[in-house]
C-alpha cells in the first residue's frame, strides 16, 4: 500500500511540458489582465488631457507626448457647482441608505434567526421571493406615492426606494449569518435574564459585525452606483453624480472632458472602498448567491 | 407556549400580568420585524400589486383595457425589438461570463500573481455602469484617431499594407496629368517604355510618412514598363521650379498607381517607393494606357469600424457587460473550487489521467451547482439591464440596442407617459424572473432539509 503514496516521478519530457504550459498560461493571463485594465486606464488618461487634445487624438498619444497631461478637467469639475453638488448628493443618498438597510435588516435578520413566531418560515420564503423582484415594478407606483407624499424629487424618496429594495438581501444575508451562532450562547444569555434587545445589542450585533460589514459595503456601492432610480426620483437639485454626468452624454465628443473626469470622480470612492474592503465585498456576493 | 419560549421574565403562574407574557413577547417580536415588514409591504409588495392592476388600464389610468397593453408589447416594433434583444442578452451574456469566469478561476490556481489578477478582473464590479458605459463608448468611437479599438485595428492593418493616405492632395495642372473625378490621371494615353511624373500639391509637410525621401527621377522604362515619380511639388521654404523634381522635393511613398487600358481595365498596378518612384511592369507594348492614381490614395485612410452603429451596438454593450461581470463569475467559481475536496483529482492524476481529463470528468461536474448559481444570478441581472444600454449607444443606434428595462423607462418616464404600457413591461420583467425566484426558494428549502 505504501507504494501508492509515493509521488509519481515526472519524466523530463513531462517536466518540460509543464513549464511550457505554465508559461503559456502566464502569458495568456498577462494579456487578459492588460485587456481588462486598458478601459479604465484609458478613461483615466482621457480625463487628464485637455478637451482640445481629446478632440484631435486618442489617449494613447500620452505615451509619446506626456506633456499633454493636465489637471485642467478636474479643476474645472471642482469649480462646477452642479458636479460638486451632485457629489454631495451621492453621499447624502448612499450613507443614510446604507445605515437604514443595515439597521432594519439586522433587526429582522435576528427575528428570523432566533425568535419563534407563527408563519416565520413563510415570511422568510416571501423575503427570498422578493430578492429577485426587478425594481421596475415599483417605479410607477412609487413615483405616484412619493408625489402624493411630496417627496418626489428629493433625496429622501431615493433613500426610501433603495432601502426597500436593499432589504430582502440584507435580511437574507444577516439571517443566514446569525443563525450560525451557537444556540447555547443565546440560551445562556436568556437564562442570565437578558432580554431580546439586550441579546441583540450585546451579542448578535458585535458577533455579526463581519456580515454587517459585507452588507454595508455591498449596499453602499450599489446605492452609490445607481442611476435608474435617481434618474426618475431626483431633480436638478437632488441628483447624484451618475445622473449629473449622464446629462452630458448627448454630446459625447465635445463633452468628453466633463464625462471622463466626472466618470472617474464617480469611480474614486467605490474603488477606494473596493480595494480597502475587497474581502467583505466578495463575502457579500458569496452569501448572496450561494447560501 | 410561554413556558417553552425562553423569555425568562414570563410569569410561570397562571395569573395575568399587566402586559401578559404572551403579549409582551409578541410586542418584542413585532418591534424587531415591524420596520422591515412595513417598508417591504409599502414599498415593494404594494407596488407589485399596483403595477399588476395598472397594467390592465390605458396610459392615463382611466379606462380598463384588459390585455391590450400586453398585446401592444408584442406587436409594436420598438417594444418587440427590446424583447428580442433581451433574449439575445440572456443567451449570450451569462454564458460568456460564466465560461470566462470558469477559465480564469481554473487557470488562476497555478498563478504566482493570482491576487493581482483577481483584483484586476474583479475591479470593474466596483464601478458604476454609467462609468463603464462612458469608458466603452470612448473605446469604440469610430474615428481611429480617437477610439482605441479602431486605432488598434487600423494599426494592425497598416502593418500588412504599406499604403499611405494623402487626403485633400491636388495635382499641379499643366504637366500632362489632370484630375478627373478625384482620380489623378494622364491627359492622354502613354505607351510602354515611357515615363510619367505626378507633381502633387496640398500635402502638408507634417503629414508626410516617416519613410518619405527626396524624390528621385523616374527610372529608365523597359519595353513592357511605364515608370514615373509621384512627388510633392513644393520645396519647403520656397524655390524650385513647378513640375520639376528639384532638390528638397519629397517623394510620396505608398501611393497606388494603376495602368488602365482603353477599355477601363486595370492592366497593372504598383505602389510608389519612398522616393516616389514607381515601375508598372508586364504591359503590352502594342497597347497604350492611361496611368492613374486612384481616389483611394486621397481618402481619409482606413476609417475604422462603426462599432456604435446599429449593426454592432449590441455586441459592444454586451462586451461591456462581460467586462464587468466576468470577475463576479470568476470569484464565485474560484471559491467553489477552493472549497472542493481535491482527493478525487489527486487519485485520478495518480492513475495517469491528463489535466484535461481531470478537469472535464471530475472538477467540472463537481462545480455544476456553483456554475448554476452563477448562471441564474447573471440571468436575473441581465434581464434587468438598464444603465449600459442607456449610456453606450448614441442616439441613432438606440432603437437597435433597446431592451425591456430601457423601453419601460422610455414609455413611462422618458417622454412616453404611458404608464399602462410601462406597467405591463414591468410585469413582463417580473414574469421573466419568476423561474429564478422559484429556483431560489427550492434551493433554500433543500438546504433547510439538509
pLDDT in tens, B65-87: 999 999 999 898 888 999 999 99
DSSP B263-288: TS-EEEEEE--TTSEEEE-S--TTS-
B38 touches chain A (CB under 8 A): no
- Domain count along chain B: 3
Please compute the mean of the pLDDT values over residues A285-290 and round it to a whole number. Answer: 66
Whether A143 contacts chain B with CB within 8 A = yes
pLDDT in tens, A192-226: 888 889 899 988 999 999 999 999 999 999 999 99
Percent share of chain A, pLDDT over 70: 95
Question: Chain A partners of B107 at a C-beta cutoff of 8 Å?
Answer: 25, 28-29
| Alpha-carbon gap, residue A183 to A176, rounded angstroms | 14
**Fold for the domain defined by A80-290:** MetI-like fold (1.10.3720)
Contacts of A68 (CB under 8 A, 6+ apart): A49, A50, A53, A61, A62
A5-9, A39-43, B71-75, B194-198: least confident range: A5-9
Residue B367 sits in a domain whose CATH number is: 1.10.3720.10
Of the listed ranges A120-124, B354-358, B395-399, the one predicted with least confidence: B354-358
Distance between CA atoms of A172 and A113, rounded to whole angstroms? 10
pLDDT band at B207 (very low <50, low <70, confident <90, very high): confident
Half-sphere exposure at residue A287, Cβ-oriented, CA atoms within 13 angstroms: 25
Residue A254 sits at the chain B interface (C-beta within 8 Å)? no
How far apart (Å, rounded) are the C-alpha atoms in residues A29 and A34? 8
Confidence of residue B293 (pLDDT cuts 50, 70, 90): confident
pLDDT at A3 over 50: no
The answer to whether the Cβ–Cβ distance between B44 and A133 falls below 8 Å is yes
The predicted model gives A160-173 an average pLDDT of: 96
Instruction: Please report whether residue B163 resides in a domain.
Output: no
Closest alpha carbon within chain A to B446: A291
Sequence ranges of the domains in chain A? 2-73, 80-290
Nearest Cα to Cα of residue A108 among A45, A171, A34, A185: A171
* A92-101, A235-244, A257-266, B17-26: least confident range: B17-26
pLDDT at residue A57, as a whole number: 85
pLDDT at B221 over 80: yes
Those residues whose C-beta lies under 8 Å from the C-beta of residue A259, and which sit 6 or more positions away, are A245, A248, A249, A252, B134
In Å, how far is A55's CA from the nearest CA of chain B? 7
Residue A290, pLDDT score:
41
Q: Is residue B153 part of a domain?
A: no
Q: What's the pLDDT at B358?
A: 85
Of the candidates A39, A190, A191, the beta carbon closest to that of B135 is on A39
Q: A87 touching B, CB under 8 A?
A: no
Q: Which of B247, B279, B298 represents a domain boundary (last residue)?
A: B298
pLDDT at A255: 85
Q: Is B374 on the interface with A (CB under 8 A)?
A: yes
Of B235, B266, B298, the residue that ends a domain is: B298
pLDDT > 70? residue B202: yes
Domain assignment of residue B49, given as a range: 42-75+406-436
Among B131, B423, B441, whose Cβ lies nearest the Cβ of A266?
A: B131
- What residues in B contact A223, CB-CB < 8 Å? none
For B384, nearest residue in chain A (alpha carbons): A134
Q: What is the pLDDT of residue B8?
A: 40
For residue A2, what pLDDT band results from cuts at 50, 70 and 90?
A: very low
Distance between CA atoms of A48 and A54, rounded to whole angstroms? Answer: 10
B263 and B349 within one domain: no
Q: Chain B within 8 Å of A27 (Cβ-Cβ)?
A: no
pLDDT of residue A8: 57
Task: Give the pLDDT score at B65.
Answer: 93
Residues B180 and B222 in one domain: yes
Contact between A140 and B51 using a beta-carbon 8 Å cutoff: yes
Contact A132 B433 (CB under 8 A): yes
Is the domain of B137 the same as that of B192? Answer: no
Task: Please check whether residue A151 touches B, CB under 8 A.
Answer: no
What does the alpha-carbon distance between residue B220 and residue A3 come to, in Å, rounded to a whole number? 83
Q: What integer pLDDT is reported at residue A242 of this predicted model?
A: 95
Q: Is the residue at B164 inside a domain?
A: no
pLDDT of residue B4 exceeding 70, the answer is no
Q: What is the pLDDT confidence band of residue B54, given thresholds at 50, 70 and 90?
A: very high
Q: Which of residues 101-120 of B touch A (CB under 8 A)?
A: 104, 107-108, 110-111, 116-117, 119-120
Do B429 and A134 meet the contact criterion of CB atoms below 8 Å apart?
Answer: yes
Residue B343 is predicted with a pLDDT of 84
- The band of B163, judged by pLDDT with boundaries at 50, 70 and 90, is low
The C-alpha atoms of residue B409 and residue A218 are separated, in whole angstroms, by 25
Task: Kindly identify which residue of chain A lies nearest to residue B323, measuring between CA atoms.
Answer: A36
Q: Which of A57, A136, A195 sits opposite B384 (nearest CB)?
A: A136
pTM: 0.81
Q: Is residue B446 part of a domain?
A: no
Section A167-188 average pLDDT? 91
pLDDT digits (tens, 9 = 90+) for B117-135: 999 999 999 999 999 999 9
Cα angle A126-A132-A136, degrees, rounded to a multiple of 5: 115
Q: Name the average pLDDT for chain A.
A: 89
- My answer on whether B391 and B332 are in the same domain is yes
The complex's ipTM works out to 0.90
Q: Which residues of A touch B119 (CB under 8 A)?
A: 275, 278
Instruction: Evaluate if residue B352 carries a pLDDT over 90.
Output: no
Contacts of B409 in chain A (CB under 8 A): 139, 228, 231-232
pLDDT level of residue A270 (50, 70, 90 thresholds): very high
Q: Is A119 a residue whose pLDDT tops 60?
A: yes
What residues of B are in contact with residue A227 (Cβ under 8 Å)?
A: 128-130, 386-387, 390
pLDDT in tens, B309-334: 888 999 999 999 999 999 999 999 99
CA distance B255 to chain A (A): 25
Residue pLDDT, tens place only, A18-66: 776 778 888 999 999 999 999 999 999 999 998 888 888 889 888 888 8
Q: How confident is the model at residue B98 (pLDDT cuts 50, 70, 90)?
A: very high
Last residue of a domain, which of B257, B279, B298?
Answer: B298
pLDDT at A120: 92
Q: What is the pLDDT of residues A135-157, one digit of tens each?
A: 999 999 999 999 999 999 999 99
Q: SS3 for B31? A: helix
For residues B367 and B271, membership in a common domain is answered with no
Mark whether B394 and B410 lie in a shared domain: no
Chain B, residues 109-168, CB within 8 A of chain A, namely: 110-111, 116-117, 119-132, 134-139, 141, 145-148, 151
Residue B3 is assigned to a structural domain of this protein: no
Q: Is 90 exceeded by the pLDDT of residue B32?
A: yes
Amino acid at each position: 500500500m505504501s507504494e501508492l503514496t509515493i509521488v509519481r516521478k515526472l519524466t523530463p519530457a513531462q517536466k518540460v511540458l509543464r513549464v511550457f504550459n505554465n508559461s503559456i498560461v502566464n502569458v495568456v493571463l498577462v494579456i487578459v489582465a492588460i485587456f481588462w485594465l486598458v478601459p479604465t486606464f484609458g478613461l483615466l488618461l482621457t480625463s487628464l488631457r485637455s478637451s482640445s487634445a481629446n478632440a484631435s487624438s486618442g489617449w494613447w498619444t500620452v505615451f509619446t507626448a506626456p506633456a499633454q497631461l493636465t489637471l485642467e478637467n478636474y479643476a474645472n469639475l471642482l469649480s462646477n457647482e452642479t458636479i460638486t453638488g451632485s457629489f454631495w448628493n451621492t453621499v447624502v443618498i448612499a450613507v443614510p441608505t446604507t445605515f437604514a438597510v443595515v439597521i432594519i435588516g439586522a433587526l429582522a435578520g435576528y427575528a428570523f434567526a432566533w425568535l419563534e413566531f407563527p408563519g416565520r418560515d413563510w415570511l422568510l420564503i416571501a423575503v427570498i421571493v422578493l430578492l429577485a423582484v426587478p425594481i421596475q415594478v415599483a417605479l410607477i407606483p412609487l413615483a405616484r406615492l412619493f408625489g402624493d407624499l411630496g417627496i418626489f424629487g428629493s433625496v429622501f424618496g431615493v433613500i426610501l426606494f433603495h432601502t426597500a429594495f436593499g432589504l430582502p438581501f440584507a435580511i437574507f444575508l444577516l439571517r443566514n449569518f446569525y443563525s450560525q451562532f451557537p444556540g447555547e450562547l443565546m440560551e445562556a444569555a436568556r437564562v442570565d435574564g437578558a432580554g431580546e434587545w439586550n441579546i441583540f445589542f450585546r451579542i448578535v450585533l458585535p458577533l455579526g459585525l463581519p456580515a454587517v460589514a459585507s452588507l454595508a459595503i455591498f449596499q453602499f456601492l450599489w446605492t452609490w452606483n445607481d442611476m435608474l432610480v435617481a434618474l426618475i426620483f431626483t431633480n436638478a437639485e437632488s441628483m447624484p453624480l451618475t445622473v449629473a454626468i449622464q446629462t452630458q452624454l448627448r454630446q459625447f465628443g465635445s463633452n468628453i472632458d466633463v464625462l471622463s473626469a466626472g466618470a472617474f470622480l464617480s469611480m474614486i470612492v467605490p474603488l477606494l472602498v473596493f480595494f480597502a474592503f475587497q474581502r467583505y465585498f466578495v463575502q457579500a456576493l458569496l452569501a448572496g448567491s450561494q447560501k | 407556549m410561554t413556558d417553552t419560549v425562553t423569555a425568562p421574565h414570563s410569569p410561570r403562574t397562571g395569573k395575568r400580568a399587566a402586559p401578559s407574557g404572551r403579549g409582551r413577547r409578541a410586542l418584542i417580536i413585532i418591534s424587531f420585524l415591524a420596520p422591515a415588514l412595513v417598508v417591504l409591504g409599502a414599498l415593494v409588495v404594494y407596488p407589485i400589486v399596483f403595477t399588476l392592476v395598472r397594467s390592465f388600464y390605458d396610459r392615463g389610468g382611466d379606462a380598463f383595457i384588459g390585455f391590450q397593453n400586453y398585446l401592444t408589447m408584442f406587436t409594436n416594433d420598438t417594444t418587440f425589438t427590446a424583447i428580442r434583444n433581451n433574449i439575445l442578452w440572456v443567451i449570450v451574456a451569462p454564458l460568456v461570463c460564466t465560461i470566462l469566469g470558469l477559465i480564469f478561476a481554473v487557470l488562476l490556481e497555478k498563478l504566482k500573481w493570482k491576487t493581482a489578477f483577481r483584483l484586476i478582473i474583479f475591479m470593474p464590479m466596483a464601478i458604476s455602469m454609467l462609468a463603464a458605459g462612458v469608458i466603452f463608448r470612448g473605446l469604440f468611437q469610430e474615428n481611429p484617431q480617437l477610439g482605441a479599438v479602431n486605432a488598434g485595428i487600423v494599426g494592425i492593418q497598416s502593418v500588412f499594407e504599406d499604403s499611405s493616405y494623402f487626403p485633400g492632395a491636388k495635382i499641379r495642372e499643366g504637366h500632362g496629368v489632370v484630375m478627373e473625378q478625384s482620380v489623378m490621371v494622364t491627359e492622354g494615353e502613354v505607351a510602354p517604355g515611357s515615363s510619367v511624373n505626378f507633381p502633387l500639391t496640398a500635402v502638408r509637410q507634417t503629414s508626410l510618412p516617416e519613410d518619405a525621401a527626396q524624390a528621385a527621377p523616374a527610372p529608365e522604362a523597359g519595353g513592357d514598363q511605364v515608370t514615373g515619380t509621384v512627388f510633392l511639388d513644393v520645396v519647403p521654404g520656397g524655390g524650385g521650379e513647378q513640375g520639376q523634381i528639384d532638390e528638397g522635393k519629397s517623394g510620396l511613398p505608398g501611393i497606388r498607381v494603376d495602368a488602365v487600358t482603353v477599355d477601363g481595365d486595370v492592366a497593372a498596378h504598383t505602389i510608389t517607393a519612398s522616393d516616389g518612384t514607381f515601375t508598372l511592369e508586364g504591359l503590352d507594348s502594342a497597347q497604350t494606357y492611361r496611368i492613374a492614381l486612384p481616389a483611394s490614395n486621397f481618402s481619409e485612410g482606413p476609417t475604422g469600424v462603426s462599432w456604435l452603429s446599429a449593426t454592432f451596438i449590441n455586441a459592444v454593450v454586451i462586451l461591456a457587460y462581460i467586462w464587468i461581470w466576468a470577475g463576479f463569475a470568476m470569484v464565485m467559481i474560484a471559491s467553489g473550487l477552493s472549497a472542493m475536496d481535491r482527493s478525487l483529482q489527486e487519485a485520478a492524476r495518480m492513475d495517469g489521467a491528463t489535466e484535461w481529463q481531470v478537469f472535464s470528468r471530475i472538477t467540472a461536474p463537481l462545480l455544476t451547482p456553483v456554475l448554476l448559481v452563477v448562471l441564474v444570478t447573471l440571468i436575473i441581472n441581465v434581464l434587468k439591464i438598464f444603465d449600459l444600454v442607456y449610456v453606450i449607444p448614441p442616439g441613432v443606434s438606440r432603437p437597435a440596442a433597446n431592451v425591456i428595462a430601457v423601453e419601460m423607462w422610455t414609455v413611462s418616464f422618458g417622454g412616453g407617459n404611458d404608464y399602462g404600457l410601462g406597467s405591463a413591461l414591468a410585469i413582463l420583467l417580473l414574469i421573466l424572473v419568476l423561474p429564478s425566484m422559484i429556483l431560489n426558494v427550492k434551493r433554500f428549502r433543500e438546504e433547510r432539509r439538509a
